[in-house]
Amino acid sequence: MEKIMRSLLEAVKDSNKEIPEMKTGGSIYKNQNGEIIVFLSISDKEGRSTVVNGTGTSFKQAAEKAAAFFHEQKSRSMQPVYLKLDLVSSVTPKGNLPVHTAKLTYKRRTDGLILNSMWETAFLPEEVDAYGMIENKKLKRERMFRAAENHFQLHNTRFLKMLTAEDQVEMAYFRTKSYFIDETGVMPLFRGHRVYSELTEDILRYAIELPRNHYFMHSVNKEGRFLYSYEPATGTTAGGYNILRHAGTLYAMLETYESFPEEKLMREAKRALCFLLSKIVPLSEKDQSIQVLADQDIVKLGGNGLAVVALAKYTDITGDEQYLPLMRGLAEWMLHIQDEKGNFAVHKQRFSTGEVSPFVSWYYPGEAMLALTRLYDIDPQEKWLDACEKQAEYLIHTRDKEETKETIEHDHWLLYALTDLHEERGGEDYLNHALFIARAIVDSQREKRAGVDREWIGSYEMKGIPRSTPVACRSEGLGAACRLALRNGLNEEAAIFFEAMKKGILFQLQMQLRPESVMYYDYKDLCLGALHESLTSYELRNDYTQHNVSSFISCYQLMQEEFYQ
């Protein structure tokens, strides 16, 4: 199979190369003439893939027809790099349907679309999604023109008439067996993505280097702002911005640089850093020692916390201490708002008036605590850890006092912070509370069992279709808990956390955009390495990639430590 697939790629690159025969097995669909149907998606490193198909009584004959049509139609500048092979495995007729009113129910990433039995313009499952051909259960014929162009079918008068003039179409869905081929080898695909049975260092390295070389390099604009939200199918961006997610994404970029240095990445990170710095201001003109991260006239505890976390990481990996006064000022605000119970009492306030909002975030305290422990690492003043301990005592003995395994929040920021705090100050309460949260995470993980979709394995019980980022956050938290358990001789518990972390990451990797999953998108360099929201939502938001990459790095580092060798 590997040799045949490589030969197929070579034949697509060079029309003088011959395509070998291949056994397709009994699960392949044959039309009324006894022919199989082969699709070739051919991609360079730039725009959307060209898609051609062919029919024949053998794989060789069908693939040769598809390749010959490609060579006949392609431009001279087209340099194939990636190839995806689809063999049609089943066809399900849906009947003659009214175009404007028919409500379509189809399985995303599984069902391809064929209209009026025109196989030359049949669209693969990934194309249906990437071009937005079905939206709100309605067929969007106008969106098929761009795809038809990439099938070399804009001259097809029968197809164009169907798109523009006919009120009813004969519709059918089809499914395929898919393989992705590049210079590294052949990868069977499931619902458009690769699936790993086991997590290795090489897989994680690739998962980290891909966003380093692509997404992170293209997601920072001239002002230093991240592209906050992007829909790769439509090329549209969403309005709004979140400065907390900016700080968190900057931290993930710096973590990536620390693990796999690349000067271009550091240049992009510095631009994002400058934008973050532009939002840090004194709380008042009278007291310049207290600093806040203020965006759109709002100050948030989590914002100050993540700004310090990002700046501390920059200071740690570069040795550049010029931002230490700013970090101290941001931390001083946390001490300023800490009440007599030890709680950071202000989570959100208006900068211009000082008006305190009743809003409370479950995650802001952990972010602030982590900021204080990371600041202590480079500025060892005991007051930072003292404040952190007071907040920890409040969370454990007051806020979380009545929480159970079923109700405790799976707070990865708090797990990071408690791991750091325990390393510096010890304390059974910190150890026990962190283990309590980590055990609750493990117990809620989906295992392989009847009734669980194979794509959902490794995710966690939550409402709706599982999403990449909530799983990634839990993976981050388990990484911290694993280190904490190991430091305290709890090796068996650490192994349980680590195994759950790896299962979670195997789930997450299904949503990382790889060369095979960006074939039908325009802006490939931005998309490569990014992680989309869920198995059915392709939105790219900066924090989705942030948390996933941070979890990859944590797991990669654990794999390299001696006790796992």
Q: DSSP string of 154-217?
A: TT-HHHHHHHHT-SEEEEEEEEEEEEEEETTEEEEEETTEE--SS--HHHHHHHHHHHHHTHHH
| Across 80-96, average pLDDT | 94
CA 513 vs CA 9, 164, 233, 381, 469: distances in Å:
21, 34, 13, 43, 14
Tell me which of 1.50.10.10, 3.40.50.10490, 3.40.50.2300, 3.90.1170.50 is the CATH number of domain 201-564: 1.50.10.10
What is d(CA 227, CA 542) in angstroms, rounded to the nearest whole number? 7
Who contacts 25 (Cβ-Cβ below 8 Å, separation ≥6)? none
Q: Where in the chain is the domain with CATH 1.50.10.10?
A: 201-564
Spell out the alpha helix ranges (H) of 356-404.
364-378, 382-394
- pLDDT tens for residues 427-464? 999 999 999 999 999 999 999 888 889 999 999 988 88
Q: In the predicted model, is pLDDT for residue 279 greater than 80?
A: yes
Average pLDDT along the chain: 94
- Tell me the per-residue pLDDT of 284-338, one tens digit each, with 9 for 90 and over: 878 789 999 999 999 999 999 999 999 999 999 999 999 999 999 999 999 999 9
Give the residue-averaged pLDDT of 107-134: 93
**pLDDT (tens digit per residue) in 158-174:** 999 988 888 999 999 99
Q: How far apart are CA 199 and CA 201, in angstroms?
A: 7
- For residue 235 the two structure tokens come to 């090329």
Give the burial class of 83: count Cβ atoms within 10 A of its Cβ; 0-12 exposed, 13-18 middle, 19 or more buried: buried
Which single residue is written with the structure tokens 């009813």?
168
* Residue 564 predicted with pLDDT over 80: no
The torsion angle over the Cα atoms of residues 507, 511, 516 and 522, rounded to 10 degrees, is: 180
pTM assigned to the model = 0.95
Query: 35 - beta bridge partners?
Result: none
Q: What would the 3-class secondary structure string for 323-347 be? A: CHHHHHHHHHHHHHHECCCCCECCC
C-alpha to C-alpha distance for 406 and 461, rounded to whole angstroms:
11
Whether the CB-CB separation of 510 and 535 falls below 8 Å is answered with: yes
E-state strands within 12-59: 36-43, 50-56
Amino acid at the residue 249: T
Q: How far apart are CA 462 and CA 85, in angstroms?
A: 35
According to the model, what pLDDT value does residue 24 have? 84
CA–CA separation, 28 vs 188, rounded Å?
Answer: 15
| Bigger pLDDT: 132 vs 305 | 305
- Whether the pLDDT of residue 495 is over 80: the answer is yes
